[in-house]
Amino acid sequence: MRSTATRLQHSMLCRVVKTYSPRDAVASVQKSAAASVTSADKTPPNNPPRILVSPHVLNQRIGKCLAFGCDAEQTHRAASLLRTINKDWRNLEAAVQGFHDPKNSVYTTRLRAGEPSHRPWRVAEQSITRFLDRILKTAKPQYRRKWELLRDNAIDGCALSITECLNEQFPNGRPFPSRLLEPQVVSAYTKLKSNDYDKNGTFHFKVVIFSHKHLMRIADLNLKLKHYTPHGQPLGWLSQEMKRVSLLTGTDAAFRSADEHSKHIEKMIKDLEEGTWRRPDATEDFGTAAP
């Protein structure tokens, strides 16, 4: 099996993008969001979306404890928490937002100055290819080869193409896409947002991109894919498989695990605070905190 990078060089997926606009009108985004939605667009039943605390805020809270003054055990706990947040927080956020198996489905890459891969849609395309790899691995044996051919655009007379790529408007004026163009490591997560394959041969994916450098979500993209066939009719096997993919979202167990893990981290930080600057008899250790 070819590598993802090699496959993308030969795939229509990485070459056909009709539209991309980081400043699309809010009305366009709302129209896209109001499109027919399958269960793939929802977080697990009875689990409303939860926005996790910004890792910046968590790191600042830990930094305040360190600046105030920590003993050896507290310093060790603080360092462990910082490592955990920097490594795992984006996976936890993806899990509570209903992305399927973030740890094993994530696409991580290093962006270098001047490379076309900096473009948001290029990262999104490769993230979708990674997601298709995951779909292939979870498919029944009789469908795996078909998925591989579809992903690589190797089916005669058929083509899988991105026809639309829209950026959702960020609240609070988050900078985009300038931060995505910086040399850095990013991780992208993909999930199926809606499935209209039987109706018009299209399906929509949501791709979110996190910056390891800035510890924040720097892109939130909605992509429309079109599957072209010789007679314009959907493939029977793909129609069945897309219904399965529609259910390939985060599970209740994954949601609860991520939710509990994130709350445990926040509690550990609170305990660290109560053992340092929030302690009733706390006195700042200027000998430790001063430069």
Give the dihedral sign, CA 30/161/42/96. Answer: negative
Whether 114 has a pLDDT exceeding 80, the answer reads: no
Residue pair 153/13 in contact by the 8 Å Cβ criterion: yes
Please, which pLDDT band fits residue 285 given cuts at 50, 70 and 90? Answer: low
Q: Identify the band that residue 253 occupies on the pLDDT scale cut at 50, 70 and 90.
A: confident
Which position has the higher pLDDT, 273 or 111? Answer: 273
pLDDT digits (tens, 9 = 90+) for 176-208: 556 777 889 999 999 999 999 999 999 999 999
Superfamily classification of domain 1-44+107-248: Hotdog Thioesterase (3.10.129.10)
Examine the pLDDT at 21 and tell me if it is beyond 70: no
Closest CA to 158 of 197, 105, 204: 197
> pLDDT class for 48, splitting at 50, 70, 90?
low
How would residue 69 be classed by pLDDT, with cut points 50, 70 and 90?
very high
Q: Which of 163, 165, 215 has its CA nearest to residue 190?
A: 165
Domain map (residue ranges) of the chain: 1-44+107-248, 53-97+254-279
Can you list the positions of beta strands (E) in 172-215?
Answer: 184-196, 202-211
